[in-house]
Chain A
């Protein structure tokens, strides 16, 4: 026994360090295993069963790929996946563009910059659900400010309920999602812009480069690493975005705002089809994983080709 313990005793300094470091990390790692890794495995397992409210007591049966066949072969499924990606690209695109514009504005030499920067933050600080209540009221057809403004400006003929029609409900949800996501993107782009060495700009200025040219050729390449990572993070969060759509439309009208996450929630929690819901959850994880790998690979190739990452040093 003593020998056995001796075997695992650290012998070198490096081993002692490794042991100590892992001892410090262990509590956090255990929580992750308990609340994230194990449930993930469990989701995977459930996705092959017919688990539902009725089988909670008796135990679910293994049914192979049936859930996957049903989900993937379902009439609505391709539309939901397509909608989710459209939702993601549209929303992330707007967040990136607005974030860049906002950051460039805040980085310019203006008065009260600190105050303005703080005023941009609230949509991000405030609980998502509460921000959505505000938008719910603004989208109101008869009494909301947006419908009334559209009426006054002659865009619509009368009251217009933004959340009642398929298309307008979808784009309204995008606007709210952009509203919530833009502040953080702006903040990180601004910080990256302020980290760009001043002498680069001065050298370009002396050479007679215009402001737009300096933005395109110095600022953009210099903050590209931040743009790349923010875009990926933002894409993942937008793909997973739940509360915004749920509070505004609950996935309706007639499924017009049902993304994969909403579909997962509806199937699992509202219809109590745990197995079928788990299948969708697994598909979400797979799709996001594949998307992230492709995104990073493509960008890795591009950055080698155009070597804008040279700015990264």
Chain B
């Protein structure tokens, strides 16, 4: 009864949703359409007489053409021969950040989920306070730090800061997962004489696999998203550039190859989009579990 809508309500709801989705997805649609059009069409404008305004047909013809093809998806590898390398770098960097982060996140999250100890809430707050600093604030000393270790212009220059800024969020997410694993299971293992580390390895970890996967995916997506800043400041070696920084090569001195740039962007976001598509149900449930009261 309560959830029934009148026809007018229904139309209103679906119309609003359509508008909302239009805002969220228009850039992607336009990126895709631009990637299909030849450059000559991208850079053409209907010839208007003085005082004449752009008609609807003219407007549509700007975004639709008979000459649409996937040519840009072939040409882009020629224009920027390093492109496969950039995509590989992006995926590699995110994977490395994810795996290394998890090594730090798992033990810490377990400690926060299971034990009451001195300094618990204070240290947890301090971890979360790290979220207040963007990498941009710490760039100067980080630059000096990485330089003194000779890590500038290596993969590490992008991995290390990436890990540092994702560990706190990871701890927070995994903690709420681990809290849901019943303590009795651990106690049973204890009674049977298992050590704490053995329990962590053989009892908790297997049960925590779904949570670990979600947290891992969340870190991966975060790492994939935040490569740009660290890449443009800490790395000048083209061999190690991730995609978001590499895409700038489509911007030439004379002209911007918009169609190939959009094609490369869309291909570049495919890895995260695919992972998100497969994981979205678990991911959304996992990310928001803190927001829902139990």
Contacts and interface: CB of A to CB of B under 8 A. Distances in A.
30 contacts: A21-B112, A24-B107, A28-B108, A36-B133, A36-B164, A39-B141, A105-B13, A105-B16, A108-B13, A109-B3, A120-B20, A122-B25, A126-B272, A127-B226, A130-B247, A133-B261, A135-B27, A142-B43, A152-B54, A152-B56, A179-B23, A187-B284, A187-B288, A226-B291, A261-B134, A268-B139, A269-B140, A281-B137, A281-B138, A288-B132
B136 A240 contact: yes
A295 interface: no
A23 B127 CA distance: 16
A42 B144 contact: yes
B223 to A, nearest CB: 10
A25 interface: yes
Given A135-B27, A240-B137, A25 B276 contact: no
A134 B27 contact: yes
A109 B5 contact: yes
B200 to A, nearest CB: 9
Nearest to A285: B137
Per CB-CB distance, the 4 closest pairs between chain A and chain B, nearest first, are A191-B288, A35-B164, A129-B244, A240-B134
B92 interface: no
B239 interface: no
A188 interface: yes
B47 interface: no
Nearest to A292: B132
A313 B293 CA distance: 10
Nearest to A229: B291
Contact of B244 (A118, A127, A142, A183): A127
B228 A125 contact: no
Contacts of B226: 127-128
Given A20-B115, A21-B120, A32-B167, A265 B139 contact: yes
A233 interface: yes
Nearest to A275: B140
Given A27-B104, A152-B59, A243-B228, A188 B247 contact: no
B115 A205 contact: no
Interface in B143-193: 144-145, 160-161, 163-165, 167-168, 171
Interface residues of B, number: 103
Interface in A277-294: 277-278, 281, 284-285, 288-289, 292
A139 to B, nearest CB: 10
Interface stretch (B66-74, B75-83, B208-216, B262-270): B262-270
Contact of B13 (A110, A120, A265): A110
A105 B225 CA distance: 27
Given A22-B117, A125-B273, A192 B291 contact: yes
Given A28-B104, A125-B225, A179-B27, 10 more contacts: A20-B196, A29-B123, A34-B164, A36-B133, A40-B141, A106-B17, A122-B24, A122-B25, A133-B261, A195-B291
Contacts of A116: 17, 21
B108 A25 contact: yes
Nearest to A281: B137
A127 B227 contact: yes
Given A22-B117, A127-B225, A182-B24, A35 B160 contact: yes
Contacts of B168: 32
A240 B133 CA distance: 8
Nearest to A130: B265
A274 interface: yes
Nearest to A123: B24
B107 A25 contact: yes
A21 to B, nearest CB: 4
A46 interface: yes
Interface of A: 14, 17-18, 20-22, 24-25, 27-29, 31-32, 34-36, 38-40, 42-43, 46, 98, 101-102, 105-106, 108-110, 114, 116-123, 125-131, 133-135, 137-138, 142-143, 145, 148-149, 151-152, 154, 159, 179, 182-183, 187-188, 190-192, 194-195, 201-202, 205, 226, 233, 236-237, 240-243, 247, 261, 264-265, 268-269, 274, 277-278, 281, 284-285, 288-289, 292, 312-313
B118 interface: yes
Contacts of B205: none
B8 interface: no
Nearest to A44: B141
A43 B140 contact: yes
B110 interface: yes
A69 to B, nearest CB: 20
Interface in B88-132: 103-105, 107-108, 110-112, 114-120, 123, 126-127, 130-132
Contacts of B3: 108-109
A278 B25 contact: no
Contacts of B219: none
B5 A188 contact: no
B7 interface: no
B272 A242 contact: no
B216 to A, nearest CB: 15
A149 B293 contact: no
B273 A126 contact: yes
A194 B265 contact: no
Contacts of B116: 17
B137 A137 contact: no
A221 B125 CA distance: 25
